[in-house]
Amino acid sequence: MNILHSISQHGHEQLVFCNDKKNGLKAVIAIHDTTLGPSLGGCRFWDYKDENEAILDVLRLSRGMTYKAAIAGLNLGGGKSVIIGQPEKLKSRKFFHSFGKYVDSLAGRYITAEDVNIRVEDINMVAEKTSHVVGVTNSPNGSGDPSPFTALGVFWGIKAAAKHKFGTESLENLKIAVQGCGAVGQNLINLLHHEKAKVCVADLSEDTTRKMKDRYGVQVVSIDKIHATDCDIFAPCALGGILNSNTIPEIKAKIIAGGANNQLLDEKLHAIALNKRNILFAPDYVINAGGLINVANELGGYNKDKATKDTIKIYETLQSIFATAEKKSLLPFEASNLLAEKIITEKKKEKQN
Ligand code: NAD
């Protein structure tokens, strides 16, 4: 991979490679854009097949964070980090201290938090070595696990999409397929269950899906069939790239609205393919901004009511994006990208004056 070419292609400011042989830490921190403020984005721990896969992931994820913060109206830029390796083998206090020191060395240009395979107890250990971290429980302003807020935002985003597509925001009796029953997926399933939606789920872990079945009476579907389930709404809440040339022709849902980052394997190509099939796609970085909105609140003194109200506003934000897209004959992802880019360009101009 030509790294400098890749980072300049989408305007990334900085890519930091971390290698601590003693503690087995291999990580990459990406700072995409700090026009609106310091970059903030979670840390993902994943056993990537090779370095290129990890770098591509962190580049795409950090760019998404820039757009997410802009649309959510936050004074934050976009960043993200990935740790490469098997979480269950590598996790230790020293390991997370080492990561914390790397984050600290960036002097606040990058603020970290949880993402896939990073739990609150892990991020608390990171916080023992740096103050540039949110989503913790071991500091007075800490708000802990952001995933309940991410799920709350996704829930209201699903309602906005249902209102736009079906004319009603009620999800009662709608069949909703949730891919991934992790931190976000489980919280979302709980909210959908209380809304009396008919939920079906899939996860890599049979233990987890069994728990979901026992707790909520959901139907369990195999992981290779969940996207093709006969349902009204498909909510991807696992990893990115699920919307691709293989899966899109098989999708039966009329709406795709879920918490996973980077759901479209190729942003433009696959958004067009969904549109051709008359499937409404809720841009992922808009609908899953609840966790970011919540942890960003820690930076100014945590206020849970405000974080909740701001998260629920995702309903209005998405409605407005769907309406603009329709009015200007754009796809929803194009309408939201243009809006985010406008916010950032205006800020850049303001800073130059
Ligand atoms: P998590 O690690 O808690 O859960 C992910 C779940 O997906 C796991 O249970 C895993 O077994 C399952 N999974 C992985 N591959 C799968 C597959 N092919 N089919 C079915 N299940 C599969 O992670 P999370 O925090 O719930 O995050 C889920 C997604 O939401 C990620 O894309 C993440 O980047 C995004 N996201 C999370 C937050 C947050 O607050 N945690 C915020 C914004 C976006």
**Each residue's pLDDT expressed in tens, for the chain with a length of 353 residues:** 799 998 998 899 999 999 999 999 999 999 999 999 999 999 999 999 999 999 999 999 999 999 999 999 999 999 999 999 999 999 999 999 999 999 999 999 999 999 999 999 999 999 999 999 999 999 888 999 999 999 999 999 999 999 999 999 999 999 999 999 999 999 999 999 999 999 999 999 999 999 999 999 999 999 999 999 999 999 999 989 999 999 999 999 999 999 999 999 999 999 999 999 999 999 999 999 999 999 999 998 999 999 999 999 999 999 999 999 999 999 999 999 999 999 999 999 998 88
187 lines ligand 1 (CB under 6 A): no
SS3 category, 51: helix
259 lines ligand 1 (CB under 6 A): yes
Which ligand 1 atom minimizes the distance to the CA of 150? 40
> Is there a contact between 260 and 239 (Cβ–Cβ < 8 Å)?
yes
Q: Distance between CA 295 and CA 38 in Å, rounded?
A: 13
184 lines ligand 1 (CB under 6 A): yes
Which ligand 1 atom minimizes the distance to the CA of 291? 40
- pLDDT value, residue 194: 98
Q: Which of 75, 73, 81, 147 is nearest to 112 (CA)?
A: 81
User: Is the entire prediction scored with pTM above 0.85?
Assistant: yes
Domains defined for the chain, CATH in brackets = 3-58+76-126 (3.40.50.10860), 147-290+317-339 (3.40.50.720)
Token duo for residue 96:
């997370």
Encode 61-106 in three state secondary structure. HHHHHHHHHHHCCCCCEEEEEEEECCHHHHCCHHHHHHHHHHHHHC
- pLDDT value, residue 198: 98
- pLDDT value, residue 353: 83
CA 48 to chain centre: 18
Q: Distance between CA 233 and CA 175 in Å, rounded?
A: 7
Q: Sort 107 into a burial class: Cβ within 10 Å, 0-12 / 13-18 / 19+.
A: exposed
Radius of gyration for the alpha carbons in the chain, expressed in angstroms and rounded: 19
Q: Distance between CA 328 and CA 351 in Å, rounded?
A: 30
Q: Sort 316 into a burial class: Cβ within 10 Å, 0-12 / 13-18 / 19+.
A: exposed
Token duo for residue 292:
């970011």
- pLDDT value, residue 1: 78
Ligand 1: residue of 71, 184, 221, 263 to mutate (most ligand atoms within 8 A of CB) is 184
Q: Which of 155, 173, 157 is nearest to 165 (CA)?
A: 157
Nearest residue (by CA) to ligand 1, atom 33, is 260
Hey, what amino acid is at 196?
K
Nearest residue (by CA) to ligand 1, atom 15, is 238
Q: What angle do CA 150, 153, 156 make, to 5 degrees?
A: 150
Which ligand 1 atom minimizes the distance to the CA of 145? 40
Tokens 């609150």 — which residue? 120
